[in-house]
Amino acid sequence: MQILIVEDDAEIAQLLSSTLEREGFTCDRAMDGLQALAAVQAQVPDLVILDLMLPQLDGLEVCTRIRQSTTEKDPYILMLTARGEEIDRVIGLSTGADDYMVKPFSPRELVARVRALLRRSLRGEKSRSYQTRHLSIDLDQRVANRHLPGQTEEILDLTALEFNLLAALMSYPGRVWTRPQLIEQLWGDDFFGDERVVDTHVGRLRKKVEVDPSHPQFIKTVIGLGYKFEDES
């Protein structure tokens, strides 16, 4: 898989490149927005890791132009930002970014996010299943399974809402979902009430997914923010 890293900080770009190359990815680098667009035109990568703050053209403009271009394929875009207030602009407006990460982040989280995006085989076709080491979910069949070492695979008995909640969390392993973001995923504009209802549904889901719900292995609480899914790929 070919990855284009667009980052003007040479040390960060080198860290990204070395981390991903150790995992078997092929990386190219661009130092500003114009270089990034030229690189995409020359050879469209499978994924672009795109810093928000760049010389020449910022990351939002680069993202928009990539999405508007008529290239042979449409790469995934993982946006990097050091400013938390920019997150809603990155993922909520029509820039076309597929995911975001806030600096600083761990190499392990970076690799997990990249793999989660690239597991989707073709851009333009929504992934219809997600699988990690211990859990799998099929969106077409509406079936979720847990497969623990030494145990027979178990079909999880989930309600429709619990299934959708698990699917949202598993779609981006390592991503922190706030309660408002999960509400938008599950209920959209039809939701009226206290956002803490998310906590109730997470608690019920944990009772069905986790071996020990009091010490969750998969659905983790991020204090002050929300929830995230973790499992070894």
Least confident stretch, 36-50, 110-124, 144-158: 110-124
In a domain, 184, yes or no: yes
pLDDT tens per residue, range 89-148: 555 445 677 777 878 888 888 888 888 777 654 444 445 788 888 999 988 888 999 998
Last residue of a domain, one of 91, 118, 145: 118
| pLDDT confidence band for 87 (50 / 70 / 90) | low
pLDDT of residue 76: 86
Percent of the chain at pLDDT exceeding 70: 87
SS3 76: strand
* Selection from 52, 173, 178 nearest residue 108 by Cα: 173
Q: What is the CATH number of the domain that holds 199?
A: 1.10.10.10
Bridge partner residues of 6 (DSSP): 30, 50
* Selection from 79, 84, 34 nearest residue 224 by Cα: 84
Do 102 and 156 reside in the same domain of the chain?
no
Q: What is the CATH number of the domain that holds 96?
A: 3.40.50.2300
Counting the structural domains of the chain, the total is 2
Last residue of a domain, one of 97, 118, 139: 118
pLDDT of residue 190: 65
Mean pLDDT, range 193-208, rounded to an integer = 90
Do 175 and 94 reside in the same domain of the chain?
no
pLDDT of residue 161: 87
Total-model pTM: 0.55
Q: Is pLDDT above 70 for 37? A: yes
| pLDDT confidence band for 232 (50 / 70 / 90) | low
Q: What is the C-alpha separation between 218 and 9, in angstroms, rounded?
A: 34
Do 30 and 98 reside in the same domain of the chain?
yes
pLDDT tens per residue, range 61-77: 898 888 887 666 778 88
pLDDT of residue 71: 67
SS3 168: helix
CA distances from 204 to 64, 144, 166 (A): 40, 15, 11
Task: Give the domain extent around 196.
Answer: 129-229
* Selection from 97, 41, 94, 37 nearest residue 62 by Cα: 37
DSSP annotation string for 103-143:
SS--HHHHHHHHHHHHTS-STTS---EEE-SSEEEETTTTE
Do 74 and 31 reside in the same domain of the chain?
yes
Do 106 and 167 reside in the same domain of the chain?
no
Residue 105 DSSP symbol:
-
In a domain, 87, yes or no: yes
In a domain, 124, yes or no: no
Percent of the chain at pLDDT exceeding 90: 44
Q: Is pLDDT above 90 for 204? A: yes
In a domain, 14, yes or no: yes
In a domain, 110, yes or no: yes
